[in-house]
């Protein structure tokens, strides 16, 4: 039995960097507890949730029974649906009682991205505090969004509680009709639940990679500061030593993982630790989920090795069908970009697919070719400096830091709107700017500023994992609608960030993925969302492919066979322009390693 499932409290939160296996372990845990006879509710707070794919059941924003598992229900918190319901909850009681102009004003006030976040957060706190749910379900398991988004979600109960404790908030996006006393009580209860080890356990999920362990260490500290003390650590996907079989790539991966574990940040070493081995199959079936969680680590390892050998025999008896036509490499995309002298290049995709590495590699190569390049990130958890580990002429590196941008925004507003206010008015404005919503506005403004630079030089943006990025684009779309509505009557030409994103001559969106089912499915969903917003992706990059390596390890042979069909699907169905990037034995860190990545054949 894994330690994190021993005597669990009613609320279990799984969090970590994108791509480390949070969803698989959360789903496996939910399945395990349900099959022990408990009623379990599995909740995704990730705007790009894929638990529906794991259980092959349409779920959505209402609690849905998973028919194939007795006792298991699931819910996906949809920020857009939550925002719509939130607006309706406020507006419906006063329709017909207030003038249309007042209703329109309230509706406009509730149309921003901060309302979307607050609405989703409202649902989240309700799950922690609803006594009826506690009576129905013995366990509520949260599969959260990648780290940065989750830290903010878990910090919000305390932030809003503190804000409301000050007795203000009338001008915030909660709205004057939202019932602040009720909100205050709910948020205080949520804070109590999160900080009580008898009620809440946080499971940090990581891979044995230095950058991932560093990020999870920062998460551990930040969430400890807000009272989440009962924390466990799961190292997922460790390469099994017995499977190496003189395979150079497998051996390099194993050695790197062991080194990363040896050098693990000291702050993590006191946590309860579980280790899970890399499995041969994608975890999108009940049997695969049971295998991950229902046996001890050693047994699951041995079991998987046996299965892997059987599967490998099948693979070897049925030769791998490799597309003989050469694939495109990263340099093919760079050669096309090199013909331009400016533009916005946005790297998007699921967490953990390598967006930061590919963004940094593109930036290094374009700067090396003499272009003026600004490399930046909107991912709160990204660390571009650690990836670059050096400087390069023509290359500026920045980060949209929510905390810094919020401070800057508050100062700007106080200098402009507060300039002519009296002391009482300034105090009121200062209080309003302490609202947690201010961060969303500040980040959007910084994002818009970066986009505007793309008219003069290359701006390469490493975005946050899909769900968070979609919320940022939603804010961009809401701002565009507001500007368009105001300008429509004045007949004045204007340009918004959304219009720049939709301009294919200026903006190139590159979707980064892995040749695995969940990243591919999320990439397809992202592509569809972008197309609905009028943004046509420019290219796909399939990262960490194995097809160029000489492989001997059974696990590697099975995985390369599985990858091939996904690579072919990208080439033949999903994108007219694509590149594949081989998995590196050593993680590409530093300017030289990143430039070599661009030069690799595909």
Rounded to the nearest 10°, the torsion over CA 142, 148, 149, 155 is 80
The encoded tokens of residue 485 equal 């509505």
Q: To 5 degrees, how large is the angle CA 464–CA 470–CA 471?
A: 95
By the 10 Å C-beta count (0-12 exposed, 13-18 middle, 19+ buried), 137 is classed as buried
Considering Cα of 41, then 87, then 118, then 181, what sign does the dihedral take?
A: negative
For 22, 333, 400, 508, 514, the CA distances from 352, given in Å and listed in that order, are 11, 21, 19, 21, 9
By the 10 Å C-beta count (0-12 exposed, 13-18 middle, 19+ buried), 299 is classed as exposed
The encoded tokens of residue 185 equal 């009580």
Angle between helices 147-165 and 180-195 (to 10 degrees): 130
Q: Which residue is listed with tokens 């022990």?
A: 36
Contacts of 251 (CB under 8 A, 6+ apart): 244
Nearest to 352 by CA among 527, 562, 519: 519
Antiparallel, parallel or unpaired: β 72-76 and 64-65: antiparallel
Cβ(319)–Cβ(504) below 8 Å: no
Query: Burial code of 17-49, b = ≥16 C-beta within 10 A, e = fewer?
Result: bbbbbbbbbbbbbbbbbbbeeebbbbbbbbbbb
Query: Burial code of 514-541, b = ≥16 C-beta within 10 A, e = fewer?
Result: bbbbbbbbbbbbbbebbeebebebbbbb
The encoded tokens of residue 3 equal 């330690």
In DSSP notation, 474-534 reads HHHHHHHHHHHHHHHTTT-----HHHHHH-TTTEEEEEEEESSHHHHHHHHHHHHHHHHTT
Residues known to be catalytic: 19, 21-24, 46, 518
Running DSSP on this structure, what letter comes out for residue 571? I
| Dihedral-angle region of residue 233 (phi above 0 means left; psi in -120 to 50 means alpha; beta otherwise) | beta
In DSSP notation, 109-169 reads HT-SHHHHHHHHHHHHHHHHH-HHHHHH-SEEEEEPPPHHHHHHHHHHHHHHHHHHHTT--
Q: How far is CA 5 from the centre of its chain?
A: 25
The residues that bridge with 496 in the sheet, in sequence order, are none
Specify the DSSP element, H or E, that contains 15: strand 11-15
């Amino acid at each position: 039995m894994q330690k994190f499932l021993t005597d669990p409290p009613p609320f279990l939160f799984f969090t970590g960097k994108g791509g480390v296996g949070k969803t698989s372990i959360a789903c496996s845990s939910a399945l395990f507890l349900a099959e022990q006879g408990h009623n379990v509710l599995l909740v995704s707070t990730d705007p790009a949730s894929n638990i529906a794919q794991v259980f092959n059941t349409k779920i959505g924003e209402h609690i849905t029974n998973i028919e194939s598992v007795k006792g298991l229900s699931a819910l996906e918190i949809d920020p857009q649906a939550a925002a719509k319901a939130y607006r309706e909850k406020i507006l419906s009681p006063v329709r017909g009682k207030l003038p249309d102009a007042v209703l329109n004003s309230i509706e406009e006030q509730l149309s921003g991205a901060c309302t979307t976040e607050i609405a989703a957060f409202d649902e989240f706190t309700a799950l922690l505090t609803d006594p009826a749910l506690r009576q129905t379900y013995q366990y509520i398991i949260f599969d959260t969004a990648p780290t940065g988004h989750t830290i903010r979600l878990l910090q919000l109960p305390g932030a809003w509680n503190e804000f409301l404790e000050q007795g203000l908030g009338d001008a915030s996006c909660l709205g004057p009709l939202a019932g602040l006393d009720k909100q205050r009580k709910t948020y205080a209860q949520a804070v109590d639940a999160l900080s009580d080890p008898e009620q809440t356990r946080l499971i940090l999920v990581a891979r044995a990679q230095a950058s991932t362990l560093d990020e999870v260490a920062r998460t551990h500290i930040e969430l400890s500061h807000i009272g989440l003390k009962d924390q466990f650590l799961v190292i997922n996907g460790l390469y099994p030593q017995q499977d190496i079989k003189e395979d150079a790539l497998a051996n390099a991966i194993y050695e790197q993982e062991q080194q990363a574990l040896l050098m693990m940040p000291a702050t993590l070493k006191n946590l309860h630790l579980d280790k899970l081995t890399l499995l041969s199959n994608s975890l999108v079936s009940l049997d695969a989920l049971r295998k991950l969680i229902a046996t001890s680590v050693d047994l699951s390892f041995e079991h998987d090795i046996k299965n892997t050998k059987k599967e490998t025999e099948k693979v070897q008896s049925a030769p791998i069908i490799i597309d003989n036509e050469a694939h495109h490499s990263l340099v093919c995309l760079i050669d096309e970009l090199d013909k331009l002298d400016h533009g916005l290049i946005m790297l998007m995709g699921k967490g953990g697919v390598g967006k930061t590495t590919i963004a940094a590699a593109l930036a290094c190569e374009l700067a090396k070719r003499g272009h003026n390049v600004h490399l930046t990130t909107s991912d709160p958890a990204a660390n571009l400096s650690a990836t670059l580990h050096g400087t390069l002429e023509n290359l500026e590196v920045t980060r949209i830091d929510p905390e810094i941008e919020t401070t800057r925004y508050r100062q700007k507003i106080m200098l402009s709107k507060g300039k002519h206010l009296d002391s009482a008015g300034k105090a009121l404005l200062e209080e309003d700017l302490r609202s947690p919503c201010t961060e969303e506005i500040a980040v959007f403004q910084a994002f818009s500023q970066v986009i505007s630079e793309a008219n003069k030089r290359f701006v390469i943006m490493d975005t946050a994992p899909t769900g968070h990025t979609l919320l940022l684009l939603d804010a961009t779309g809401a701002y565009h609608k507001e500007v368009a509505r105001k300008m429509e009557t004045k007949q004045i030409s204007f340009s918004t960030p959304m219009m720049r994103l939709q301009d294919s001559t200026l903006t190139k969106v590159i979707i980064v993925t892995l040749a695995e089912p969940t990243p591919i499915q999320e990439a397809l969903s992202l592509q569809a969302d972008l197309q609905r917003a009028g943004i046509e992706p420019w290219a796909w990059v399939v990262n960490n492919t194995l097809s160029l390596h000489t492989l001997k390890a059974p696990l590697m042979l099975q995985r390369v066979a599985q990858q091939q069909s996904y690579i072919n699907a990208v080439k033949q169905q999903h994108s007219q322009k694509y590149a594949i990037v081989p998995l590196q034995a050593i993680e590409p860190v530093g300017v030289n390693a990143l430039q070599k990545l661009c030069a690799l054949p595909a």
